[in-house]
Amino acid sequence: MTNLNITDDSLKEKLVAYAYDNSDAFCYGCYKVVKPNAAGRCFCPTCHSDDLMRHVGGVGVEYGIDWVVESFIKANCEAIDLETYYGEWLSEIYSEPVKICGSEFDQAWALKQLDPIAYELGQADMISANLDDDCWIEIDGEYYTVDEVENFLS
Ligand SMILES: [Zn+2]
């Protein structure tokens, strides 16, 4: 699984806490969910191992917590539609539609037809800028806004 790339420590902390609350400890050797004891400690009652994985119903079983966080974001937040977002972003910057021989064209559509490389590079720049500014989170090649992730947590 990928490494969770969230630079906002308090957001990451909240996500990890949510992930622990909404997943179970799992003993792979005995292949079963392990409930924490009264003191909140987790070890397998059968083999006494505390080398436990995490289990998310319907998703899977794996070591670590980052993949649990990612699975909850993917299940609860909508990935950004890059084409739509980029199109809106371009039309905000270049408010005038493209005019060719008296006809008007949507900015993003025209750029994509006339210079697909510039279109791709521009979209890649927009993605990098949003990731650098900590506005977006990337999971498996999809992007989610931090705002939406915060909404889902609250
Ligand atoms: Zn066990």
Q: Where are the domains of the chain?
A: 9-76, 82-153
Q: Say if CB 28 and CB 19 are below 8 A apart.
A: no
Work out the pLDDT band at 36, boundaries 50, 70, 90: confident
CA of 53 to the centre of ligand 1 (A): 11
Is residue 3's pLDDT more than 90? no
CA of 112 to the centre of ligand 1 (A): 56
Q: According to the model, what pLDDT value does residue 1 have?
A: 42
Q: According to the model, what pLDDT value does residue 68 have?
A: 96
Per-position b or e across 82-120, b if 16+ CB within 10 A of its CB: eeebbbebbeeeeeeebeeeeeeeebbebbbeeeeeebe
Q: According to the model, what pLDDT value does residue 136 have?
A: 94
Is residue 75's pLDDT more than 90? yes
CA of 69 to the centre of ligand 1 (A): 24
